[in-house]
Structure 1
Amino acid sequence: MKAAQLTKYESDFKLVVRDIPTPTPSENEVLVQVKVAAVNPIEHLIGSGSVKLIQNYDMPLTMGNELSGIVTAVGSAVSRFKVGDAVYSRLPLTKIGAFAEFVAIDEQAVALKPKTLDFEHSAAVPLTGLTAYQGFTEELAAQSGQSVMIPGGSGSFGQLAIPIAKELGLKVMVSGNARGRENAATMGVSQYFDYKQENYWESLAPVDYVIDTIGKPELSHELSVLKSGGRLLSLRMGPNRRFAKQHQLSFLKTTLFSLAGTQLDHQAKKAGVQYHFIFVRSDGAQLAKITEIVERENIVPAIDPTQFSLAQVNEALELVANGHPKGKVLIRF
């Protein structure tokens, strides 16, 4: 089968498409024929070696974290899926490989894809959906009736985060561009701030939580709108000591992350809040819950119209890294 592989960590890495053996599923795995693989910023973090303290891979490495496809074989102990099932997955971090014609995946990381979406749109859901779900339920431990602000929430993350937050009973506030206002209102946000017209930190009442999708340039504003004891969850600013402890990393890695996150933790402590960082994991049971929300709310994630094949994987990576995609970038098989 064809697969796009990384041969070594480099800041300007390029993947090589080559023929490798089709995997044989173990007793707990399903073999999936990949229909569509999604390209995400995490590919650049992995390829450049930026996250090798969290997960270091043997080379060559078949890349790709997110896919939709059809089950073509099942292991002897698999009970939840059968040949012919249309599925999707955020692959386990320890065993990625979506940029390939076939991939063997632990059944616990797989869910049936939404019936309301085709394979293209389904492939755009798992990573973002699980990030939002785990962020709200685990990192923030959010409770019904509480409030969350999402700066930059008019983008692809907000498309799934807003309805998931509403499902959990949260009051949601968002900032974004002008064209995102109508869609956000349809999803039930309580307040929408057009970032070119108004500064949310000047008029927003204090909130319980902030989810950061922008990074350090927004940090002071995000901290300023949190209630005392609130939590800031970042998708962009990097891990800290809390992250290392939660993931039971080694003493060396814990020390390194503690040092890297010192300034963030100091600023959060000064504001009387907690700083959290998330590195989303695979979870088929949670993905099944997200599927229900997607189907019920008729969510259709945005996908970029540019067509990429596996042979064009490096062009797809370039668009994600340095272009301005109009939604999730996809590789179609």
Structure 2
Amino acid sequence: MTSFMFDRFGKHPLTKHQISVPTPKPGEVLVEIKAAAVNPVDIKKRNGDLRFLLPEKHPAPTGHDFAGIITAVGSAVTDFKVGQRVFGKLDDWHIGSFADFICVRTKYIAEIPTDWSFEQAAALPLVGLTSYQALHDYLQLKPGQSVLIPGGSGGIGSIAIPLAKALGARVTTTASPKNFTRLRALGAEVVLDYHDDQALSKQPQFDAVFDTRGGQDLIASFDLVKANGRIVSLNAMPDPQFVADQGEYFHLNAFKRVILKLASAKVDRLAQKHHVWYRFMLVKSSGQQLQTLTELMQAHQIQMPIDRTFTFADTQAALDHVEAGHAQGKVVINH
């Protein structure tokens, strides 16, 4: 079978490798991939930005999201069968959905709704689970609360905004004026021009902030959230609580734990100064949450917007399109 891989870190093209079709282990199923989605994390892994947390050997497979058909099941699998349409996000240590087949543990997959295409299903897992875990698990949004989701026109914002609204929150986001109408249609009550540096500071303080950018945007968030409010970030240094909770999963030794503690000290001090609950997060794979998310989306008629589709042969072009930063919605690879 064909699998696209990175042969080294840096801005180098994917390489097409011919490898054997894997055999499912106990608790796994073999899925023939019909569609996969590209995420910014695929670019980060290629560049080596995550090797401190996720070291890997080359050639390294990539691709997290997938949708397809089960073609074989391992022993002890009772909840899925051959022929089922399934989708999911691969766990961090076993990625590789830019391929013809993938073996995946059943706890990471869910059945595709009958009225969804493979493309729709593949577009959802990483951004959907990220948004659900950020808004529901970390920020613990309650009806009537206000939440800031900056940069709403990207892949995360396109699903996080309607999800936050479905949870009963009042959403403020930032974007280019050309995207205002679309973001209001997604459920944002307030849409601000991200070119205006003063726009956010003129708003009432928020109950919660879902930061996707990090850097100065994250630092500024501490002035925008209420005392005892919550901030979760996708793009910062792991905080001490993250290290305590997930250090074993990421095989963090004592040296790495000290380095991360020092690197996150500035943000931790800001959280204490402003009396704000703050966490860094990385999404966890979960078939159960994916099923919950699917039901929530169907109940509220939430659609996962797809920016563009590419053929499997054009996987490199799909990554290039995402890296250019102009995608409004998800980029999907069709088999």
1:224 corresponds to: 223
Alignment deviations for residues 122-172 of structure 1 (CA, whole Å, 9 cap, x no partner): 211100110011112332233444321111123321222123223333332
- CA RMSD after TM alignment: 2.2
- 1:198 Cα deviation after fit: 8.3
Which residue number in structure 1 is paired with residue 299 of structure 2? 296
C-alpha distance after superposition, 1:42-77 (max 9, x if no partner): 112222222122222343322111111111112221
Deviation at 1:323, TM superposition (A): 4.6
Distance 1:198 1:239, change over 3 A: closer
From the superposition, tell whether residues 150 and 244 of structure 1 become closer, same or farther in structure 2 (CA, over 3 Å).
Answer: same
2:232 matched residue in structure 1: 233
Note the C-alpha offset of 1:189.
Answer: 3.3
Question: Equivalent residue for 2:99?
Answer: 100
Q: Whole-Å Cα distance in 2 between the matches of residues 328 and 187 of structure 1? A: 15
2: distance between equivalents of 1:327 and 1:142? 24
Residues 88 and 126 in structure 1, CA contact (< 8 A), matched pair in contact too: yes
In the alignment, which residue of structure 2 is the partner of 1:109?
108
Closer/same/farther in 2, CA of residues 83 and 260 from structure 1, 3 Å limit: same
Per-residue deviation, 1:204: 1.8
Q: Distance in 2 between matches of 1:189 and 1:251?
A: 43
> Secondary structure at the residue paired with 1:326?
coil
How far, CA to CA, are the matches of 2:282 and 2:81 in structure 1?
Answer: 30
Letter in 2 for 1:292: E
TM-score (norm 1): 0.90
Aligned-partner SS, 1:96: coil
Residue 280 of structure 2: which of 277, 281, 306 is its match?
277
> 1:201 and 1:287 mapped to 2: Cα distance?
32
Matches within 5 A, 1:234-249: 234-248=233-247, 249=252
Query: Contact between 1:36 and 1:123, CA under 8 Å: does it hold in 2?
Result: yes
What letter matches 1:154 in structure 2? S
What's the CA shift string for 1:268-321, capped at 9, x where partnerless?
A: 333332332111111000000111122223333222335242x33333222222
CA distance in 1, matches of 2:3, 2:186: 38
> Match of 1:138?
137
2:318 maps to what in 1?
Answer: 316
Q: Work out whether residues 155 and 176 of structure 1, in 8 Å CA contact, stay in contact via their aligned partners in 2.
A: no
* In structure 2, C-alpha distance between the alignment counterparts of 1:80 and 1:174, rounded to whole Å: 40
Aligned partner of 1:173 in structure 2 is 172
How far the C-alpha of 1:199 sits from its partner, in A, is 4.2
Contact 1:153 1:213 (C-alpha < 8 Å) held by counterparts: no
Find the residue that maps to 2:81 and give its secondary structure: coil
Cα gap change, 1:323 to 1:139, in 2 (>3 Å) = closer
Q: Which residue of 1 aligns with 2:194?
A: 195
Is 2:265 the partner of 1:266?
Answer: no
The answer to whether the 8 Å contact 2:153/2:329 transfers is no
Asked whether the 8 Å contact 2:309–2:334 carries over to 1, the reply is no
Give the secondary-structure state (helix, strand or coil) at the position aligned to 1:289. Answer: helix
The residue aligned with 1:212 is 211
Contact 1:211 1:233 survives alignment (8 Å)? yes
Aligned-pair CA distance for 1:196? 4.7
Which piece of structure 1 moves more, 256-265 or 214-223? Answer: 214-223
% identical equivalent positions: 36
Structure 1 contact 268–274 (Cα < 8 Å) conserved: yes
Q: State which drifts further: 252-261 or 296-305.
A: 296-305
| Distance in 2 separating the partners of 1:306 and 1:38 | 9
2:4–2:15: 8 Å Cα contact kept in structure 1? yes
d(CA) in 2 for partners of 1:261 and 1:72?
45
1:4 corresponds in structure 2 to 4
**Residue type matched to 2:303 in 1?**
V
Distance 2:172 2:319 in 1: 31
Q: How does 1:28-67 map to 2 (within 5 A)?
A: 28-67=27-66
The answer as to whether partners of 1:163 and 1:293 remain within 8 angstroms in 2 is no
Letter of the structure 1 residue corresponding to residue 52 of structure 2 = L
| Cα pair distance change 1:298/1:167, threshold 3 Å | closer
C-alpha distance in 1 between matches for 2:128 and 2:254: 31
| TM-score of the superposed pair, with normalisation by structure 2 | 0.90
SS at match of 2:207: strand
Please list every run of 5 or more consecutive structure 2 residues that lacks an aligned counterpart in the other structure: none
Cα distance in 1, alignment partners of residues 153 and 327 from structure 2: 14
**Aligned AA for 1:98?**
S
Match of 1:326 in 2: 328
Aligned residue number for residue 252 of structure 1: 255
Q: Which residue of 1 aligns with 2:19?
A: 20
Please say which of residues 100-109 and 140-149 is displaced more in the overlay: 140-149
Deviates more, 1:196-205 or 1:319-328: 196-205
Higher mean displacement: 234-243 or 97-106: 234-243
CA offset digits 1:234-282 (Å, max 9, x no partner): 1223323232122134322211111221222233333332332111111
The answer to whether the 8 Å contact 1:193/1:199 transfers is no
Q: C-alpha distance in 2, partners of 1:220/1:103?
A: 40
- In the alignment, is the contact (CA less than 8 A) between 1:201 and 1:222 conserved in 2? no
Partner SS for 1:123: helix
